[in-house]
Structure 1
């Protein structure tokens, strides 16, 4: 992890936090859910501004799962490795639920499909009280309205599931 000493001063590991990390300055859960480039994809990230000793500032964005895993185990991920989840739930950021493996497009696709099937790709505003909860446990009217909107989009075909095929198609002979 780049700038690890600064990161360790600003965040600490906490099992009671829904994201696994807390901010040191206000004890709030760290991290936000952010959309990715792929359709209906998301990931948990920590965006932050770091101020250095010479007065310069730099915006840094960390993968929350990788930070939690590295802080819990002390092991840094290599370039070809990624984090997988035992219960196939990307929102369960407990280090006991995580394991590291070589990047496998089929496993990543399976994680994405399960998240899509359980409506975990619906991203609520950070101020919503159901932000850190699973969609089946949502009770807030705003959250339920967003869930109904996503169901409507899927019924009409506006929101499509991840593509089932992985890799390059075979050349026609």
Structure 2
């Protein structure tokens, strides 16, 4: 779920390179997998800082379970400051960093997507356990598994399963305990 939003009044000439570099640096600093990083850049924004329109920035960093340690937060903001100064030539004293933990209830869509990915990765293990416990029954062998009444489809090898109980019940029993704290 980590998301980093950068607003600045300077022009970023090579946006793609900046976004990729910030994705790498953000994953490293936050200790989160790069595959879950979202980077948003708004350059040439009308902004002032300390009463002037000299180069400035505002960075919002959203991540779950990352900001509970004050000294670590200071260290992270220093690392992000170095990145901003190096890539955008803006001194660290010309902007703010906001570290935000939105909590699971405020990032439902992203968490749902991440949990779907985790579900796919561990599909064989939890499906076999769910089948042995009687929550899922084999329908027929195919390349697809259809989950719940929403009809979410994933490619799984030689499985098509239909959940007899509610998707939530199976989720709580078999999926949630296996999701790493990656978001």
TM-score tier (shorter)? under 0.3
From the CA coordinates, give the structure whose radius of gyration is larger.
Answer: 2
Higher helix share: 2
- Larger RCO, structures 1/2 (Cα 8 Å, 6+ apart): 2
How does the TM-score come out when normalised to structure 2? 0.23
